[in-house]
Amino acid sequence: MALKILVTGGAGYLGSILVPTLLGLGHEVTVVDNFMFGPNSLLECCANDKFSIMRGDVRDEALMKKAVAGADVLIPLAALVGAPLCNKDPLAAVTINRDAIEMMIKLSSKEQRIIMPVTNSGYGIGQKGKFCDENTPLNPISLYGKTKVEAEKMVLDRGNSISFRLATVFGVSPRMRIDLLVNDFVHRAVNDRFVIIFEGHFKRNYIHVRDVTRAFIHAIENFEKMKNEPYNVGLSDANISKLELCERIQRQIPSFVYLEAPVGEDPDKRDYIVSNEKIEKTGFMPAHSLEMGIAELIKGYTIIRNNKYGNV
């Protein structure tokens, strides 16, 4: 059944994959975006008569009232994503990542469905050898993680909603980001041939950007049996350390050299392993491996020759 879907931040890294996919499935899609990262990623959608665009800020209540009205599904992607960007502008981080979600909830009816991405960085620092699942207490250690944890609670308390605790996303997108960990390390491997790692034993989980879109489609199609719950979304075979990630990159770029610094700290203190069993039991399985993503990124960086594609 064709739905009316609102996607805020639809021109971003996730949205520029998700929006064309939703249109291809026959849904009507309205995007709200301020295009702070460039205007090009959704141009291909303009020829589709089911695509609408509203240029503006998700903190603008009058704009959002119009955008929310009539939508069947609300997908709030608009956010300042990542600890460095949030630390650069803390006020915007709070007002966009948390307060704008609170306003959207106020403007929506209980019949409208919300499917919201947050981050599994809310787990903070896990226990060695113990998987974080959806019942693990949240302990965000960055402003980014804190705003997303607070927004997730609002959405789930509201009801008729699903949250996705996304692993660190990787892969090529029309609105590219090279500041994400896998994307960054492959970029360094292709261009610099080396990387210096701080606290290389720190572990985290990963997920391909196209599998994030597949997770949203899965939630739309299985909403009734999945609603009112959080779900970790990641690759179950990719709970790996930064050193292990470099090993996998080196298999495809043998000239890549990585060294662990004997002193210094990683400003992003996340260190945990994650269970994705809950969403897998609903029938969702990722289709893109870490190795596929690395190969894809190598091709992408043959095209991209500068670093304007970061968030900071």
| Band of pLDDT at residue 272, cut at 50, 70 and 90 | confident
Query: Quick check: 282 pLDDT over 90?
Result: yes
pLDDT digits (tens, 9 = 90+) for 126-148: 777 789 999 999 989 889 999 99
Render pLDDT for 46-89 as a digit per residue (tens, 0 to 9): 999 999 999 999 999 999 999 999 999 999 999 999 888 999 99
Residues 115 and 164: beta-carbon distance below 8 Å: yes
Length of the chain equals 312
| Bridge partners for 7 per DSSP | 31, 75
Give the CA angle between residues 191, 197, 199 to the nearest 5°.
160
Is the separation of the CB atoms in 10 and 31 below 8 Å?
yes
- CA 261 from chain center: how many Å? 29
Whether pLDDT at 267 is above 70: no
pLDDT in tens, 172-189: 999 999 999 999 999 999
Q: Which tops the pLDDT comparison, 311 or 302?
A: 302
Could you tell me the sign of the dihedral formed by the alpha carbons of 109, 110, 113, 119, in that order? Answer: positive
Asked whether 9 and 15 are in contact (CB, 8 A), the reply is: yes
Q: In CATH, what is the architecture of 4-169+205-234?
A: 3-Layer(aba) Sandwich (3.40)
Q: CA-to-CA distance for 111 and 262, rounded, in angstroms?
A: 55
Neighbour count for residue 109 (Cβ, 10 Å): 9
Instruction: State what percent of residues in the chain have pLDDT above 70.
Output: 96
Q: Helices then strands (H, E): number in the chain?
A: 12, 15
Question: What is the per-residue pLDDT across 92-125, written as a single tens digit (0 to 9) for each?
Answer: 999 999 999 999 999 999 999 999 999 998 898 7
Tens digits of residue pLDDT in 6-50: 999 999 999 999 999 999 999 999 999 999 988 899 999 999 999
- The pLDDT value recorded for residue 103 is 98
Read off the pLDDT band of 290 (50, 70, 90).
very high
Task: Assign 309 a pLDDT band (cuts: 50, 70, 90).
Answer: low
Average pLDDT, the chain: 94
234: tokens are: 């990641």
For 137-180, the DSSP string reads PP---SHHHHHHHHHHHHHHHHSSEEEEEE-EEES--SS--S-S
Please indicate whether residue 265 or residue 67 has the higher confidence score (pLDDT). 67
